[in-house]
A and B are shown apart, each in its own frame.
Chain A
Amino acid sequence: MISVADLLTNNRIPSNYFATDAYVRGDLELGLLENRQGDRLLAVPETLIQGIYAGLDKETGQASCLVLFNCGRWWGKNFYVRFCEQLTDYYSVSPADMPMVEFLQALQQCWITHGWGKIELDQSYQHRGFLVIKVWNSPFAKLAPQGKQPVCFLEAGILSAFFSQLTGRELHCIQTTCESLGSDCNRFVIGLTKRLEPAETLVTNLDHEAIMQQISS
């Protein structure tokens, strides 16, 4: 027989940890934003994001893509650790023992609550060893300078580090479509560096489907 009392965890049913109104807290007088476990949150104004793009471009020129990607890697690595800590505290179960669906659902809500847009995983190329991630309404795309190729190098770095940590394998990430170029969403392809590298040169000429065809054939 099912015992209802046993289904509760310390008399709780952990649900949506990253629910926006429960997760973000603040003390206006102190000028502080905190999350629900009391860690500081940082609100980044649009001007700062634009300023980072402009400053990097001026200081480092073409290398700014690489700088942003590496900053993203660093951020993603720490973000993964914090994310897992919060999940472990809240659900009383380690992320490794958590069903993937619930892990991803938490990630999606976390993304929304931090104001990074809506994130979704597309597993249709998983059998080929690639994971496609779609992001809508990214502030990093919206505020980036217009160019001829996708611009979300920061997010690509974050995602590559996050999924590298998650899978325990060194993974790379390349963006194939970008909202800044008029696409419906930002598509990121994650996979082993060696297999993904050929795509680097394709992103300026081919669309997402064509790139996926090329690299997975």
Chain B
Amino acid sequence: MHPQLETIFDEAENRYLKPEELSLLGEYVDSLPERLEAYRNLRDRELKIMQSVADQLQLELPQEKVEMLERSIKNALLMLRYCAMGMLLNDEAFVQERLLGWLSLTVQVYDTRSIDAVLYRLLNQRLKQALNPRHLALLGSMLLLAQNTLQQPASADTRR
């Protein structure tokens, strides 16, 4: 769950929540039906969306090895699933900690960044068509975070 929300639940013994804390909670609760709907939509269309991205990707990058393309697609599926969960929880840290630290290493080792760049463009286009703007906005911040992190060139070792 969003770290800010998580911390306010620790306050039970100290005090009642302040109006701004309650409104933060309210905002999240109000957004939940939309988040759930976006999640279901994405879940039900995952294969269709990704298949069309995969077909397009092969057309745009016919020179790339199928093995490399498949790796990128698998990583994108993983990214999409984690982003969907992150959106449901409204928690970027979930995506960051569970997925990105690990996946950025894989991306570096196999050097799939140039394929990924094309794939992300296709995926974002396809999501724009498949999801309504409200749902896309909810998912967007997670996707942006994930894609930006994974597109970063091999940086100085950040794992230490």
Q: How far is the CB of A81 from chain B (nearest CB, A)?
A: 24
Instruction: List, in ascending order, chain A residues with CB within 8 A of B54's CB.
Output: 1-2, 4
- The reply to whether A13 and B55 form a contact with Cβ atoms under 8 Å apart is no
Instruction: List, in ascending order, chain B residues with CB within 8 A of A2's CB.
Output: 54-55, 58, 66, 69-70, 73
- The reply to whether A4 and B51 form a contact with Cβ atoms under 8 Å apart is yes
In the complex, whether A50 has a CB less than 8 A from a CB of chain B is no
* Majority-rule SS of B interface residues: helix
Instruction: List, in ascending order, chain A residues with CB within 8 A of B81's CB.
Output: 13
Q: Given A2-B58, A15-B99, A109-B102, verify A7-B51 contact (CB < 8 Å).
A: no
Which of A16-24, A36-44, A55-63, A169-177 lies on the face that meets chain B?
A16-24
Q: How far is the CA of A13 from the CA of B50 in the complex (A)?
A: 14
Q: How far is the CB of B160 from chain A (nearest CB, A)?
A: 6
- The reply to whether A3 and B51 form a contact with Cβ atoms under 8 Å apart is yes
User: In which size bucket is the chain A interface?
Assistant: 10 to 19
- The reply to whether B50 and A16 form a contact with Cβ atoms under 8 Å apart is no
- The reply to whether A21 and B97 form a contact with Cβ atoms under 8 Å apart is yes
Q: Given A13-B77, A13-B81, A118-B160, verify A5-B102 contact (CB < 8 Å).
A: no
Our pick among B47, B78, B99, B159 for the contact of A5 (Cβ within 8 Å) is B47
Nearest B residue to A102 by beta-carbon distance?
Answer: B106
Our pick among B47, B69, B74 for the contact of A13 (Cβ within 8 Å) is B74
- The reply to whether A7 and B102 form a contact with Cβ atoms under 8 Å apart is no
Residues of B128-157 contacting chain A, CB below 8 A: none
Q: How far is the CB of A185 from chain B (nearest CB, A)?
A: 10
Q: Mark B95-108, 1 if CB is under 8 A from A, else 0.
A: 00111001101100
In the complex, whether A101 has a CB less than 8 A from a CB of chain B is yes
Instruction: List, in ascending order, chain B residues with CB within 8 A of A1's CB.
Output: 54-55, 58
Our pick among B55, B58, B98 for the contact of A22 (Cβ within 8 Å) is B98
Instruction: List, in ascending order, chain B residues with CB within 8 A of A101's CB.
Output: 106, 109-110
Instruction: List, in ascending order, chain A residues with CB within 8 A of B109's CB.
Output: 101, 105
Residues of B57-98 contacting chain A, CB below 8 A: 58, 66, 69-70, 73-74, 77-78, 81, 97-98
Instruction: List, in ascending order, chain B residues with CB within 8 A of A4's CB.
Output: 47, 50-51, 54, 73, 77
Known contacts A4-B73, A7-B74; 12 additional CB pairs below 8 A are A4-B47, A7-B73, A13-B74, A13-B77, A19-B98, A101-B106, A101-B110, A105-B105, A105-B109, A109-B102, A118-B159, A118-B160
Spell out A's residues near B (CB within 8 Å): 1-5, 7-8, 13, 15-16, 19, 21-22, 101-102, 105, 109, 118, 136
